[in-house]
Amino acid sequence: MVDPQIAQLIEKEKERQENTLMMIPSENYASLAVLEALGSVVQNKYAEGYSGKRYYQGNINIDKIETLAIKRAKKLFAVPHVNVQPYSGSPANAAVYFALLKPGDKIMGLALNSGGHLTHGYPKITFSGRYFQSAQYEVGEDGFLDYEEIEEQAIAQRPKIIVAGTTAYPRILDFERFGRIADKVGAYLLADISHIAGLVIANVHPSPVPYADVVMTTTHKTLRGPRGAMIMVTRKGLAKDGQMGKRIDRAVFPGLQGGPHENTIAAIAVALREAQSKPFREYGKQIVKNAQVLARELLRMGFNLVSGGTDNHLILIDLRNKKIDGKTAAVTLEKAGVVVNANAIPHDPNPPYRPSGIRLGTPALTSRGMKGREMTQIAHFISEVIKIPEEIKMVKNIVMKMTNQFPIYKNI
Ligand SMILES: *Cc1c(COP(=O)(O)O)cnc(C)c1O
């Protein structure tokens, strides 16, 4: 063993993942085939540029890998142009802004505490809020997006780009409506489907492709690939600006990045092949079914859910009626082997480090093969631990029994 310290920590992390219920909705378990591509010799190669136009020699195989990843993404999402080089979701959004906006132009995105992402124009501390003007829309008191209000705000604010995408919104997004709003005010529409890409492929969430100019997704969430991202230009985007694909590519390299992580791109290609399969579509459907069972059971136990339930892979619990804050709840649940994250609820009266809610989701549990029966039990675990913290040990033991029945990786 070359490095026993790190080897041991990796082994411990594997045990932690095996023995806990991973319910952070942005997390998942990539397949062994994806991990194999990630850990391959492909990572040794520098490949600045794009297939057929590299700044280094020796890219004969790399070109084929990247071309295949792009081909699979185009087919799966039905888009004419794809860039698979962004290092992750945040730099991918930066590249979209870099390609389509000038510094000081206005971004209109969903506010963080309404379920948006930092890169959607969060003011003051993020690049998207510092180098651009930002106008943030919010969800209503009922937890739903109010499209009338978004339209009014867009008309008043005249943003150059509208971002439709969420990290903590349990409902379907009406991309068609967003498309009409963007058209009305002459803004680009960026659909950020980082969380829901796998659901879009499985046809359990409508695709934004007909309505957006650009679609961005991370590849490691419901898509279940390596950590990375893709930027897709739609037919609508190309009709607006025939050079949009080129502009995106130039913004990624040389605009923002140097050498692409081709091992990641190989792993993205593997994940996209997996996502083309019928079992993957079944997987996407089961994610939503599981989330709905979990929501129903949590409601039965007296939990308040933001928006009253879920249409997708995640649930946001408003804990104020339980006399516990989100951070304390998340820390307590982790001791029982249930891993969730503290999260702001819409219009949260509490500060961001001690928000009033927790966010939990089903993509990773569904990858392990868990179904409605397990979701019902898990709702009980959550209720028990929050009501009677003395029960932590007992719950942890039952969680271990459950996780043992659903191994993630049977042979590593
Ligand atoms: C996860 C996420 C991102 C950022 O992805 P990173 O890979 O963490 O940088 C951007 N937008 C949305 C909506 C996300 O959910």
Q: What is the CATH number of the domain that holds 307?
A: 3.90.1150.10
Residue 218 known to be catalytic: yes
CA of 216 to the centre of ligand 1 (A): 9
Residue 318 annotated among the catalytic residues of the structure: no
* Closest residue CA from atom 10 of ligand 1: 89
198: nearest Cα among 283, 114, 265, 129? 283
Task: Please indicate whether residue 192 is annotated as part of the active site.
Answer: yes
Q: Which atom of ligand 1 is nearest to the CA of 165?
A: 13
| Same-domain status, 137 and 249 | yes
The total of structural domains in the chain comes to: 2
* Residue 1, pLDDT score: 85
Based on the number of CB atoms within 10 Å of its own CB, is 39 exposed (0-12), middle (13-18) or buried (19 or more)? exposed
In a shared domain, residues 102 and 186:
yes
What is the distance, to the nearest Å, from the Cα of residue 294 to the centroid of all Cα atoms in its chain? 20
Instruction: Tell which atom from ligand 1 comes closest to the C-alpha of 93.
Output: 10
Ligand 1 within 6 A of CB of 205: no
| 228 occurs within a structural domain | yes
> Which region, left, alpha or beta, applies to residue 24 given φ > 0 means left and ψ of -120 to 50 means alpha?
beta
Backbone torsions φ then ψ of 165, nearest 5 degrees: 180, 150
Q: Catalytic site residue 217?
A: no
- Do 355 and 406 belong to one domain? yes
Of 221, 240, 275, the residue at which a domain comes to its end is 275
Quick check: CB of 85 below 6 Å from ligand 1? Answer: no
Which one of 18, 27, 36, 46 is the catalytic residue? Answer: 46
Give domain status of residue 374, yes or no. Answer: yes
Same domain, 256 and 379: no
Tell me the C-alpha distance between 357 and 350, whole Å.
Answer: 10
Q: Supply the range of the domain harboring residue 403.
A: 278-410
From 259, 275, 291, the end of a domain falls on: 275
**Residue at 127 is within a domain:** yes
In terms of Cβ atoms closer than 10 Å to its own Cβ (0-12, 13-18, 19+), residue 372 is middle
In a domain, 289, yes or no: yes
Q: Is 192 in the pocket of ligand 1 (CB under 6 A)?
A: yes
Looking at the structure, do residues 293 and 243 belong to the same domain, yes or no?
A: no
- Distance from the CA of 335 to the center of ligand 1, in angstroms? 27
Local confidence pLDDT in tens for the 412 residues of the chain: 899 999 999 999 999 999 999 999 999 999 999 999 999 999 999 999 999 999 999 999 999 999 999 999 999 999 999 999 999 999 999 999 999 999 999 999 999 999 999 999 999 999 999 999 999 999 999 999 999 999 999 999 999 999 999 999 999 999 999 999 999 999 999 999 999 999 999 999 999 999 999 999 999 999 999 999 999 999 999 999 999 999 999 999 999 999 999 999 999 999 999 999 999 999 999 999 999 999 999 999 999 999 999 999 999 999 999 999 999 999 999 999 999 999 999 999 999 889 999 999 999 999 999 999 999 999 999 999 999 989 999 999 999 999 999 999 875 4
- Residue 389, pLDDT score: 87
Residue 313 is predicted with a pLDDT of: 98
Residue at a domain's end among 260, 275, 290: 275
Both 260 and 297 in one domain: the answer is no
Residue 126 catalytic?
no
Per-residue model confidence (pLDDT) at position 211: 98
Measured between alpha carbons, how far is 74 from 97 in angstroms, rounded to an integer? 22
Do 266 and 303 lie in one domain? The reply is: no
Asked whether residue 19 is assigned to any structural domain, the reply reads no
Please report the atom of ligand 1 found closest to the CA of residue 195.
15
Instruction: Output the CA torsion 299→302→305→307 (10° steps).
Output: 80
For residues 245 and 316, state if they share a domain.
no
Contact (CB, 8 A) for 105 and 160? yes
Q: Note whether 170 and 96 are same-domain residues.
A: yes
Tell me, yes or no, whether 4 lies in a domain.
Answer: no
Whether 257 lines ligand 1, by a CB cut-off of 6 Å, is no
Same domain, 288 and 163: no
CA of 28 to the centre of ligand 1 (A): 14
Is 6 part of a structural domain of the chain?
no
Q: How far is the CA of 398 from the centre of ligand 1 (A)?
A: 33
48 catalytic? Reply is yes
Which pLDDT value is given to residue 411? Answer: 52
The answer to whether 166 and 110 are in contact (CB under 8 A) is yes
Same domain membership, residue 225 and residue 286:
no
What atom of ligand 1 comes closest to residue 193's alpha carbon?
Answer: 13
Residue 22 forms part of a structural domain: no
Same domain, 62 and 148: yes
CATH code of the domain in which 96 resides? 3.40.640.10
Check pocket membership of 126 for ligand 1, CB cut-off 6 A.
Answer: no
